[in-house]
Structure 1
Amino acid sequence: MNILQRSKSLNKRQLLIVCELVFFISISNTAFALPSFTRQTGMACISCHTQAFGPNLTPLGRQFKLNAYSSGGGDSFLSRFGGTIQGSLTNTKRNDDKFINPDNPNFDANFKNRGYNSNNNLALDQASVFFGGKVLQQMGAFVQFSYDGIYNRLSLDNTDIRLSSESDVLDKNLIYGISFNNNPTVQDLWNTTPAWGFPYVGSSLANTPAVGPIIGALGQQVGGATLYSMIDDLVFLEAGAYTSFAKYAQKGLGEWDNGAVKIDGGAPYWRIALQKDWHGHYFSLGHFGFRANIQPNVNIAGTDRYTDLGMDFNYQYLANPLHIYEVKASYIREQQELLATANQGGATHPQQQIGFLGLNGSYTYDQTYSFAAGFNHLSGSTDTTLYASPTNKPNSEYFTFELDYVPFGKTASAGIESYLNIRFALQYVAYTRFNGSSKNYTNVQPGDTGMPRNASDNNTLYLNTWLIF
């Protein structure tokens, strides 16, 4: 991720994007969260989504996903197809010319001639087509192909193909199935793991911390299968494994680049969770884990081992649909054995650890207006080679505040209204620590060229418009 730049006026390309967004907004009458699911089930978006939009699920939404997206069956097979468009405006506290100035040591050639300024840029974040819903009686899928307007790239996005069945064993209901997917935790139900965690949107042009758990960094580069079961609507168990797609496959899917990493062999993944819905008070408590041997340089033999162990908690108050309250928490502890990286001169100490804490809460009124706040803290071991910051640590800390407005998705419809839904989000991210330090994290010393950047210089105001049809 890289930082946006500041300008005093909008160029013609940006004005064109504004006109396109206004057009899409103007044709929206009534709409739904994932319209293909609405067309299939006949239920309004509020049945499965706490904000009538986006990935955040209610108990019914989790049940629908658990049953392989195959509940219901109304409307035609073609109605399972749809699309989405996201546009945005991003402002950062301090200008940075890394996208436009080749003399900047951090110049990103991926954005050369893309029309960005030093700040206040409009962008077409993403445009996607997807299939979502039942394929056969007990088989369903969510498959998304996306055009990334920031990186000018078309690729296979998050994909989850499921088969499931249901039976009674010893007077206990048992739902069981298999998920084929391309992103560890994309198949998860609770919105506390990396693939669908808060915040659900963010600027691809904003500067973000350089370090994070490996479980959240392999999306679309890997493929895997997991077996799962839900026992008596109380205990959830899941286990499976992932491996890297072959180089030619990643190129074909639009995911390969020179910095891609490779899993050596298979990488096991597991998940355990307990859940209980008590008179509109929903609770879940879980554990998840992932272990992978990663080849950091595909041209040099040798692997690093990453072991991620996570805990998560989810509470939702859904007794009164007019007022919905949610609290989510997760913590991931990653043990790193960087033998290959150390042998190649990339780390001083092969044994490393990082810890990532995420907390967030939200209030939603009438499933139309919502306010959410989140706190994230990342800490790690000291290494003078691996982390080029004044503290030689990866530590980052930041707060995220978001206001959302979703005008539609409150009623069910099989007409043209079921092909349109929209959300407006205003988000602010405030950093108190970034890549190891709150001040001069770029490690610029007296006499060096360039100006030091502080953590708060990356504070980001992000306005997002998200249309699904």
Structure 2
Amino acid sequence: MKAVSPGRGKRVLRAGGGLALLGLVVAMFGTAASRVDAVPSFARQTKLPCSACHIGGFGPQLTSFGRQFKLMGYTMKTGDGPDVPLSAMLVESFTHTAKAQTDPPADGFSRNNNAELQQASVFLAGRVSQHVGVFAQATYSENGGLLGWDNMDVRYANSFTSGAHNAIWGVSLNNNPTVTDVFNTAPAWQFPYMSADLAPGAPAMPMLFGGLGGQVIGVNGYLQLDGKWYGEVGAYRSLSPSFLRDVNADFDGRLASTAPYARAAYTWNLPAGNLEVGGFYLHARRGLPGTNAAGDAVAVAGPSDRFDDLGVDASYQRAFGSNHQITVNALYVDERQKLDATYGSGGSSNLKGRLDALNLDGSYWYRNTWGATLDLFADNGRSDTILYGDAGKPDTRGGTIEADWNPFGESDSWEQPWANVRVGLEYTFYTRFAGRVHNVDGAGRSASDNNTTYLYVWLAI
């Protein structure tokens, strides 16, 4: 069972050793990293507005062009001369729950109505050479007060033609299964793109939803054929607890063996949009973490828990002229568990478990300036009174409604691509939380008491 981080645990890696990450990337590429491309630095590299690659003015929803840019390893460049391979992002947020939480959600915060500097990130992002590109992020969060590494994706990409067929192929070194993906159904890039980290979140979700993010290193090979067929296979190994301490990352236990990952998708390219259908697979065996005399997390010998995640997804994009865009995304993941380590240590009442997660979201954007999104989710699991407490189940259901304003979202907006601002107002509601509608915590709290209003201002340069 994977306990999730706030905001239903999606796409939020713990802020950790960002300086170590940047040092690692710079050491790998040295002064060759004189050009970049992704986030605003990608736009400066390509001499294109952010809206060329992103729906909604800027990240992370990718257009068809943005998907191809990522598959080609972030290497497309327009013009001569060096580009600065750095970008930065700031997110300031305010979080309110319908009823004050029983305890403060984190040190230094109140039981309700919390403002915070949620993220301050720096990106090393763009072209390194003709066939090598990088996307590496370091993040500081006021919640925890740590600076550390976040998503990393270093790619080699190339293309070839054989008869009537065109192909793109590449290899990625990365630290999070699904971070390599180009579709916004993938858990690493799934809506909500920003979410409250000081509000209650679902008690458990499948491993594919960030359960290994930032704790592993993996190598993936991928191939896209004729702009339609896509396949990717990879394998992940745990990073050492000492390294993860250096980068302030979580450690939830060492993988007992290499964790294979696979992804397949097919895209229909339509006159005004595209339709994609695909699937995911992840297999992981992970032991329980322990602590040493100093209280630091360490790997311990013993049995391991097994997680088998199988997912199916679909996405649809459609433009109506140059002013209107809609997107629809769907993902269902089923996880089968065999909890040898957890059950053997008394941490669960059942040897075998199961989790599944369903997400459906649709969005509309007008001139990449005004946006609205509706997301519905249902997370369910097999009963286990030790894992999930008195309710005995992790079942959590509800939805999120978000309204966005990007004042500089259009291709000819002021100071493109330097000025990128998004103001988002998000409301998340729960019809069931941790298996119950009422008395979800044993102290009279209802599922609807966790309903969350979340306001954020997102700046990217």
TM-score, normalised via structure 2 length: 0.87
Q: Which has the larger radius of gyration?
A: 1
Measured at CA, do residues 33 and 225 of structure 1 come closer, stay the same or move farther in structure 2, by a change above 3 Å?
closer
| 1-structure distance, mates of 2:422, 2:282 | 33
| 2-structure distance, mates of 1:37, 1:74 | 13
180, 183, 190: which one aligns with 2:176? 183
Partner of 1:401: 401
Per-residue deviation, 1:117: 2.3
Measured at CA, do residues 158 and 74 of structure 1 come closer, stay the same or move farther in structure 2, by a change above 3 Å?
farther
Per-residue deviation, 1:301: 1.1
Per-residue deviation, 1:321: 2.5
| 2-structure distance, mates of 1:355, 1:180 | 28
| 1-structure distance, mates of 2:125, 2:38 | 12
Secondary structure of the residue aligned to 2:233 is strand
Residue type of the alignment partner of 1:51: G
Per-residue deviation, 1:256: 4.0
Partner of 1:85: 90
Partner of 1:326: 327
**Contact 1:39 / 1:74 at 8 angstroms: preserved in 2?**
no
* Matching of residues 134-173 of structure 1 within 5 Å: 134-173=127-166
Q: Which runs of 5+ in 1 are unaligned?
A: 4-31, 100-107, 445-450
1:127-168 Cα distance to aligned partner (Å, 9 max, x none): 011111101011111111111121211111111111100000
Partner of 1:229: 223
Partner of 1:410: 410
Partner of 1:14: none
Partner of 2:373: 372
Per-residue deviation, 1:40: 0.4
| 2-structure distance, mates of 1:225, 1:315 | 29
| 2-structure distance, mates of 1:441, 1:61 | 42
281, 293, 297: which one aligns with 1:289? 281
Secondary structure of the residue aligned to 2:133 is strand
1:60-84 Cα distance to aligned partner (Å, 9 max, x none): 0000000000011447545221111
Partner of 2:341: 340
**Contact 1:428 / 1:460 at 8 angstroms: preserved in 2?**
yes
Secondary structure of the residue aligned to 1:87 is strand
Measured at CA, do residues 84 and 46 of structure 1 come closer, stay the same or move farther in structure 2, by a change above 3 Å?
same
Residue type of the alignment partner of 2:418: Y
* Matched residues, number: 418
Range with bigger deviation, 51-60 or 319-328? 319-328
Alignment of 1:268 with 2:260, yes or no, is yes
| 1-structure distance, mates of 2:245, 2:130 | 33
Range with bigger deviation, 318-327 or 303-312? 318-327
Per-residue deviation, 1:319: 4.4
Q: Kindly report the root-mean-square deviation, in angstroms, between the aligned alpha carbons of the 2 structures.
A: 1.8
Per-residue deviation, 1:296: 2.1
Residue type of the alignment partner of 1:207: P
1:222-261 Cα distance to aligned partner (Å, 9 max, x none): 110100000011100100101111112111222145xx22
Per-residue deviation, 1:299: 2.9
Per-residue deviation, 1:118: 2.5
**Contact 1:39 / 1:75 at 8 angstroms: preserved in 2?**
no
Partner of 2:21: none
1:368-404 Cα distance to aligned partner (Å, 9 max, x none): 10110000001111122222133x1110101100001
Identity %: 36
1:15-46 Cα distance to aligned partner (Å, 9 max, x none): xxxxxxxxxxxxxxxxx992101100011111
Range with bigger deviation, 216-225 or 315-324? 315-324
Partner of 1:103: none
Per-residue deviation, 1:342: 0.8
Alignment of 1:278 with 2:283, yes or no, is no
**Contact 1:399 / 1:431 at 8 angstroms: preserved in 2?**
yes
Secondary structure of the residue aligned to 1:341 is helix
Q: Which runs of 5+ in 2 are unaligned?
A: 8-36, 290-298
Residue type of the alignment partner of 1:304: D
Partner of 2:188: 195
| 1-structure distance, mates of 2:455, 2:80 | 35
Alignment of 1:457 with 2:449, yes or no, is yes
* Matching of residues 423-438 of structure 1 within 5 Å: 423-438=422-437
Secondary structure of the residue aligned to 2:449 is helix
